[in-house]
């Protein structure tokens, strides 16, 4: 998202820097890139193609469908079978691919959290596109456990992408259930998104380890469950390197217990109210 312009709309201020970030990603051995053709719109996918095409073997590009960006920059649902089919072809064209590795259907019912409602029509449309050879795998984003079960009755689901981080723990049980099924869980807003995580405990742990608080947050996610894959956004090579360094942090059981308590502290005022 951060490779597009402000508000994930329009081109970045420095397109050359965006290209440099993507090339550094590949140079460091990262093989999972999360994108969407409604970032920009089209901007991020154009930059990915410019920077990396022809793509290296083993690179997995995951895109998502379910929204469109009109000229006013707003976020609008685009969930009819016709919308989804057109979006698949847009992603294929703008990324320069013949088949998309993984396509996530992004439910737009709530801003940053799931909302119950049927998704069978949309998942069926993606399953049809998969049978046509345009999609290899199907995932879901911003969904509930019931919606995942509905989708699994139609097709295989390889990943779920929901809002989850050190303070936002509503998917704890879901993550464990998906891990038992061998399904990847990809937390969006792993660092808090538009409201970055802040906690005295987090800052204290980071100080003890000699790293930045956001690195601790990413390390906690990697310790949380073996099926978690991280997609922290970045707009600079230096920040990218900081994010990757988080994967080398080891957190002790005592430290993990301290960090686990952060969600309870943040939720306490809401419970009291």
Peptide bond into 123 cis (omega under 30): no
Q: Using 50, 70 and 90 to split pLDDT, how confident is the model at 271?
A: very low
In whole angstroms, what is the distance from residue 55 CA to residue 57 CA? 7
Average pLDDT over residues 65-93: 97
Domain assignments of the chain as residue spans, ordered by start: 1-163, 196-273
Query: pTM score, two decimals?
Result: 0.93
- 153 Cβ contact partners less than 8 Å away, ≥ 6 residues apart: none
Q: In whole angstroms, what is the distance from residue 138 CA to residue 128 CA? A: 11
Is 185 a known active-site residue? no
- Whether pLDDT at 41 is above 60: yes
Question: Which of these is catalytic: 39, 55, 164, 185?
Answer: 39
C-alpha to C-alpha distance for 178 and 91, rounded to whole angstroms: 27
Q: Which DSSP category does 210 fall into?
A: T
Task: Grade residue 197 by pLDDT with cuts at 50, 70 and 90.
Answer: confident
CATH fold of 1-163 reads: TIM Barrel (3.20.20)
Q: Region 153-161: what's the mean pLDDT? A: 98
The closest of 48, 18, 47 to 235, measured between CA atoms, is 18
Q: What's the pLDDT tens digit per position in 230-263?
A: 999 899 999 999 999 999 999 999 999 999 998 8
């Amino acid at each position: 998202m951060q490779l597009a312009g402000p508000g994930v709309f329009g081109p970045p201020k420095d397109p050359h820097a965006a290209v440099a970030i993507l090339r550094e990603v590949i140079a460091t051995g990262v093989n999972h890139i999360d994108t969407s053709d409604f970032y920009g719109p089209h901007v991020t996918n154009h930059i990915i193609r410019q920077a990396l095409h022809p793509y290296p073997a083993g690179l997995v590009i995951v895109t998502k469908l379910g929204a469109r960006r009109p000229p006013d920059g707003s976020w609008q649902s685009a969930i009819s079978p016709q919308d989804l089919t057109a979006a698949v072809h847009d992603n294929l064209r703008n990324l320069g691919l013949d088949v998309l590795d993984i396509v996530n259907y992004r439910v737009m019912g709530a801003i940053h959290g799931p909302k119950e409602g049927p998704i069978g029509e949309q998942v069926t449309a993606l399953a049809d596109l998969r049978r046509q050879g345009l999609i290899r795998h199907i995932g879901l984003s911003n969904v509930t456990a019931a919606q995942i079960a509905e989708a699994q009755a139609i097709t295989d689901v390889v990943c779920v992408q929901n809002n989850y981080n050190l303070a936002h723990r509503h998917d704890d049980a879901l993550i464990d259930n998906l891990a038992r099924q061998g399904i990847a869980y990809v937390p969006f807003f792993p660092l808090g998104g538009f409201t970055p995580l802040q906690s005295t405990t987090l800052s204290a742990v980071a100080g003890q380890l000699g790293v930045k608080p956001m690195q601790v947050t990413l390390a906690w996610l990697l310790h949380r469950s073996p099926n978690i894959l991280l997609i922290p956004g970045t707009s600079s090579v230096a920040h990218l390197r900081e994010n990757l360094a988080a994967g080398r942090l080891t957190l002790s059981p005592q430290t993990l217990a301290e960090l686990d308590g952060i969600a309870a502290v943040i939720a306490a005022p809401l419970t009291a109210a």
